[in-house]
């Protein structure tokens, strides 16, 4: 056991891992696109571009592999961290037998800093009660600033510093953007560390929310691209492919795979559709250029510190471009998880504001397909469009021979690469726990030798039931279609039953883009690879397979402390994480016990989420209002008159009726208003997580009636949340539940 006084080897490099989210193989300028990414291109120009680097096809699993050097199932992260199950490959809990890269670097004398997206924390462990073992500080980082879940509203994120929820330093109206904040913080941490311990190396893990939806950026960044994508995704893809081949990141002789029938030909679209989809990509491109500029500030800071030459920098993505916006794209991605179909005319109405504070947008899947040029498919699939991503290495002191590297690489290879570069032998035991097999191999031999043999040539893949395996010169891939993206379920061709999955076969060594299926010519090779896949599945805890969320729910792990059906909360505790609140997806009541001033008062009584998904009650011009913003519809109910002075109970009811929802506003014993919508209640109101605020709001509002914080001018005694339809808001019952006299 080390006591923290270990010194790193003299000359050991700093390590910076820059991880973008949902960025496709073709989207950086240096990988073929016409989107401006000058910082990334400069790093690539002075360093290495890997052309056969792979990931797991999804967020949490790739992050677990990067930080442990192990296959995702082998460390319990076979799927999203949000859904821990009892199956060993899907616990969402990185085991003590796989000590993380920051933990090992810390023990070896590094400072370890994490900024940005985490997404390695099981549901039920994200509230202010922890447990904190799997928060960044529990898994080897000394400092952390970022967001814990899969994505974040870039205008108003749910932020954490170390082990506490904190508020952003400014509001969207004051010019806040998450990526800028993350870059500021990364620079602050590194500069401060370097000044505080001169000569001590650091590891910085910098994981942006970009390029994951919501595609949020100030419109001037998007307007730079005005008209640039009017040529459409088919022609854009051909141009990108030509650049890729010309620059050597795709080998000459590669076949550009064909457009699948479920992606529309650009020429077949109406003028409105083209206008909409082109703008979606302008916003995406602006968002990427903005991200590149923030990374540029970080790199400039390293340069100014004089440490850039001996800093080993990786830039990569966690999976291929995302098709979760479906055919039309979406103005509000919460519709996708709630399976509310998108609507072209509604999207057109939102076009002018695309990327702004009112939406939570994601582009059409035509751009995801093109963003992964020259491959098939996208995120969530183990076709190369999901698994092969850009990977850039920059290290002036360690790399003399810049250029393209074609050796096979995978997320699990980064950990052994870093340890070798830093001169660290992986420990056999950590905290007395024997360490499990490392699955990756160091890429260091390829740094200065473009012709070095591949460190490894065998790797299984599995994501949401999509399976493939690379074995030497060959790759076999199934045609399984997963669940969860409505348009994929309805439009994609392929197998929906594991027993009927068909394996295609590609000579991946010569067929770079996985274009030519030769399964019919080599049935014996298909059989061999399929058997190898099953052996790897057994060795890595891949089984049981599931191709959607529904099958996983049956084996989900109960929380240590169950969320109660009723919870009384008080304003002096501050915001309450949605992870700790009663599940209102089946309906329920929320009661606010208040003291109304003589003028009827004004301000927010309670609020959760915002206008892209959320609910709350407030008083405007003395009148009570409840607002429920569902994915697809907003319901705002207003009391007919000013609130009477004195103690009152203002209640909001949400009831599941005929698959839809009825919302009610109740004052004491009187129902003041009610409205029904056919849209049901979501399981989660905000992808990025959110908190219930009491007596004021924060971030973005529920409606344009008010600007947060809009504090309540009366007294708020308490708020009671209660699940189920059975609880009738009769005063006696409510008073008992509220524990007031
Ligand atoms: Ca991702």
Q: pLDDT confidence of 335, banded at 50, 70, 90?
A: confident
Q: State residue 3's pLDDT score.
A: 52
Residue 672 has pLDDT above 50, yes or no: yes
Strand duo 458-463 + 143-147: pairing: unpaired
Answer for the pair 157, 147: CB distance below 8 angstroms, yes or no: yes
pLDDT surpassing 70 at residue 731: no
CA angle 376, 379, 381 (to 5 degrees): 65
**Interval between CA 353 and ligand 1 midpoint (Å):** 25
* 14-457: CATH number: 3.40.720.10
d(CA 372, CA 367): 9
What is the distance in A from the centroid of ligand 1 to the CA of 212?
Answer: 6
Residues with CB under 5 A from ligand 1 (ion): 21-22, 59, 318-319
Q: What is the percent of the chain with per-residue pLDDT over 70, rounded to a whole number?
A: 97
Residue 346: what are its φ and ψ, rounded to 5°?
-65, -40
The Å distance, Cα 713 to ligand 1 centre, comes to 43
* Span from the CA of 442 to the centroid of ligand 1 (angstroms): 24
**How much distance in Å is there from the Cα of 239 to the middle of ligand 1?**
26
Distance 318 CA to ligand 1 centre (A): 5
How far apart are the CA of 214 and the centre of ligand 1, in A? 12
The confidence band for 553, taking pLDDT boundaries of 50, 70 and 90, is confident
Chain segment 424-453, per-residue pLDDT in tens: 999 999 999 999 999 999 999 999 999 999
Sign, CA torsion 693/694/698/704:
positive
The burial class, CB within 10 Å (0-12 / 13-18 / 19+), for 99 is: buried
Compute the residue count for the chain: 741
Rounded Cα distance, 529 and 468, in Å: 9
Cα distance between residue 701 and residue 5, in whole Å: 48
Does residue 741 register a pLDDT over 60? no
Q: What is the pLDDT of residue 460?
A: 98
pTM as predicted: 0.96
Query: 622 alpha carbon to ligand 1 midpoint, in Å?
Result: 45
Contacts of 177 (CB under 8 A, 6+ apart): 154, 155, 216, 217, 218, 290
Across the range 57-71, mean pLDDT stands at 98
What is the 25 CA–ligand 1 centroid distance (Å)? 13
Place of tokens 């402390």: 561
Predicted confidence (pLDDT) at residue 728 exceeds the cutoff of 80: no
> What is the predicted pLDDT for the residue at 4?
55
Rounded Cα distance, 110 and 102, in Å:
8
Element (DSSP H or E) covering residue 557: none
Quote the Cα angle for 446-448-449, to 5°.
Answer: 60
The tokens describing 311, both together, are 């800093």
Q: What phi, psi does 34 have (nearest 5°)?
A: -100, 20
Q: Does the pLDDT of residue 592 top 80, yes or no?
A: yes
Q: Which of 34-43, 184-193, 514-523, 544-553 has the lowest mean pLDDT?
A: 544-553
CA of 619 to the centre of ligand 1 (A): 39
Ligand 1 centroid to 119 CA: how many Å? Answer: 10
Could you give the residue range(s) of every CATH 2.60.120.200 domain in the chain? Answer: 566-738
User: Given a cut of 50, is residue 740 above it in pLDDT?
Assistant: no
Q: Distance from the CA of 571 to the center of ligand 1, in angstroms?
A: 35
Alpha-carbon distance values, 279 to 361, 537, 575, 702 (Å): 12, 42, 37, 26
Residue 447, pLDDT score: 98
Q: How many beta carbons lie within 10 A of that of residue 2, not counting itself?
A: 11
Distance (Å, whole) CA 549 – CA 481: 13
pLDDT on residue 369: 98
Location of structure tokens 């329920």:
588
474 DSSP β-pair partners: 471
Work out whether strand 111-117 and strand 202-207 pair parallel, antiparallel, or are unpaired: parallel
Distance 290 CA to ligand 1 centre (A): 18
Yes or no: say if 359 and 291 are a contact pair by the CB < 8 Å rule. Answer: no
Q: Tell me the C-alpha distance between 524 and 528, whole Å.
A: 6
Exposed, middle or buried, 661 (CB in 10 Å: 0-12/13-18/19+)? buried
CA of 526 to the centre of ligand 1 (A): 30
CA of 740 to the centre of ligand 1 (A): 47
Q: Is the pLDDT reported for residue 667 higher than 70? A: yes
The answer to whether 592 and 716 have CB atoms below 8 angstroms apart is yes
- In CATH, the architecture of 566-738 is Sandwich (2.60)
Rounded to an integer, the average pLDDT of 547-569 is: 88
pLDDT tens, position by position, 604-655: 999 999 999 999 999 999 999 999 999 889 999 999 999 999 999 999 999 9
pLDDT confidence of residue 537: 98
Mean pLDDT of 678-704: 95
158-197 pLDDT, tens digit per residue, is 999 999 999 999 999 999 999 999 999 999 999 999 999 9
**Å from CA of 334 to ligand 1 middle:** 16
Contact 682, 542 (CB under 8 A): no
Looking at the chain, which residues constitute the CATH 3.40.720.10 domain(s)? 14-457
The predicted pLDDT at position 326 comes to 94
């Amino acid at each position: 056991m080390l006591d923290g006084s270990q010194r790193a080897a003299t000359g050991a490099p700093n390590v910076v891992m820059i991880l973008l989210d949902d960025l496709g193989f073709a989207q950086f300028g240096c990988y073929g696109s016409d989107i401006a990414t000058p910082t990334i291109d400069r790093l690539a120009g002075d360093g290495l571009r890997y052309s056969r680097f792979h990931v797991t096809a999804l967020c949490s699993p790739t992050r677990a592999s990067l930080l442990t050097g192990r296959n995702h199932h082998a460390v319990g992260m076979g799927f999203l961290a949000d859904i821990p199950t009892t199956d060993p490959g899907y616990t969402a809990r990185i085991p003590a037998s796989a000590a993380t890269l920051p933990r090992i670097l810390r023990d070896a004398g590094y400072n370890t800093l994490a900024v940005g997206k985490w997404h390695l924390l099981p549901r039920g462990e994200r509230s202010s009660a922890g447990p904190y073992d799997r928060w960044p500080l529990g898994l080897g980082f000394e400092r952390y600033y970022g967001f814990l879940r899969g994505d974040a509203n870039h205008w108003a994120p749910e932020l954490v510093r170390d082990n506490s929820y904190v508020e952003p330093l400014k509001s969207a109206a004051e010019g806040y953007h998450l990526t800028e904040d993350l870059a500021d913080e990364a620079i602050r941490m590194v500069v401060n560390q370097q000044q505080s311990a001169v000569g001590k190396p650091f590891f910085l893990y910098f994981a942006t929310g970009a390029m994951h939806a919501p595609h949020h950026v100030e419109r001037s960044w998007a307007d730079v691209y005005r008209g640039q994508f009017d040529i459409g995704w088919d022609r854009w893809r051909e141009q990108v492919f030509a650049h890729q081949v010309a620059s050597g990141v795709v080998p000459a002789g590669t076949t550009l795979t064909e457009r699948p029938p479920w992606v529309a030909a650009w020429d077949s679209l109406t003028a409105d559709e083209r206008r909409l989809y082109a703008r979606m990509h302008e916003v995406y491109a602006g968002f990427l250029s903005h991200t590149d500029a923030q990374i540029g500030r970080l790199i400039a800071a390293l340069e100014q510190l004089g440490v850039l030459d001996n800093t080993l920098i990786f830039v990569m993505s966690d999976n291929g471009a995302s098709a979760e916006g479906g055919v039309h794209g979406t103005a509000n991605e919460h519709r996708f998880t709630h399976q509310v179909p998108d609507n072209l005319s509604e999207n057109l109405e939102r076009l002018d504001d695309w990327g702004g504070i009112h939406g939570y947008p994601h582009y059409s899947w035509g751009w995801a397909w093109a963003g992964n040029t020259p491959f098939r498919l996208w995120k969530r699939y183990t076709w190369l469009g999901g698994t092969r991503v850009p990977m850039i290495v920059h290290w002036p002191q360690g790399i003399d021979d810049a250029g393209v590297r074609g050796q096979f690489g995978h997320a699990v290879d980064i950990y052994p690469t870093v340890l070798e570069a830093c001169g660290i032998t992986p420990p056999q035991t950590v905290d007395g726990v024997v360490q499990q097999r490392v699955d990756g191999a160091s890429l260091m031999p390829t740094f200065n030798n473009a012709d070095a043999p591949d460190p490894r040539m065998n790797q299984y893949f599995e994501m949401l039931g999509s399976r493939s395996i690379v074995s030497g010169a060959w790759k076999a891939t199934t045609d399984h279609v997963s669940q969860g993206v409505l348009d994929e379920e309805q439009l994609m061709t392929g197998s929906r039953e594991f027993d009927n999955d068909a394996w295609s076969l590609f000579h991946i060594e010569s067929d770079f883009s996985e274009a030519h299926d030769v399964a019919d010519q080599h049935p014996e090779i298909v059989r061999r690879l399929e058997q190898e896949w099953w052996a790897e599945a057994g060795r890595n805890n891949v089984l049981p397979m599931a191709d959607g969320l529904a099958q996983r729910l049956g084996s989900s792990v109960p929380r240590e402390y169950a969320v109660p059906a009723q919870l009384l909360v008080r304003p002096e505790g501050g915001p309450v994480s949605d992870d700790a609140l009663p599940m209102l997806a089946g309906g329920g009541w929320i009661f606010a016990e208040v003291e109304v001033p003589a003028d009827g008062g004004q301000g927010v009584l309670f609020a959760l989420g915002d206008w892209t998904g959320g609910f709350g009650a407030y008083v405007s011009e003395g009148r009570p209002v409840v607002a429920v913003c569902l994915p697809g519809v907003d319901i705002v109910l207003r009391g007919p008159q000013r609130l009477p002075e004195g103690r009152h109970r203002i209640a909001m009811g949400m009831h599941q009726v005929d698959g839809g929802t009825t919302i009610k506003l109740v004052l004491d014993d009187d129902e003041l208003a009610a409205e029904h919508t056919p849209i049901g209640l979501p399981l989660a109101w905000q992808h990025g997580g959110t908190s219930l605020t009491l007596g004021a709001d924060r971030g973005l509002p529920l409606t344009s009636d008010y600007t947060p914080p809009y504090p309540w001018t009366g007294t708020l005694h308490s708020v009671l949340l209660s699940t189920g339809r059975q609880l009738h808001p009769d005063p006696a019952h409510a008073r008992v539940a509220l524990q007031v006299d």
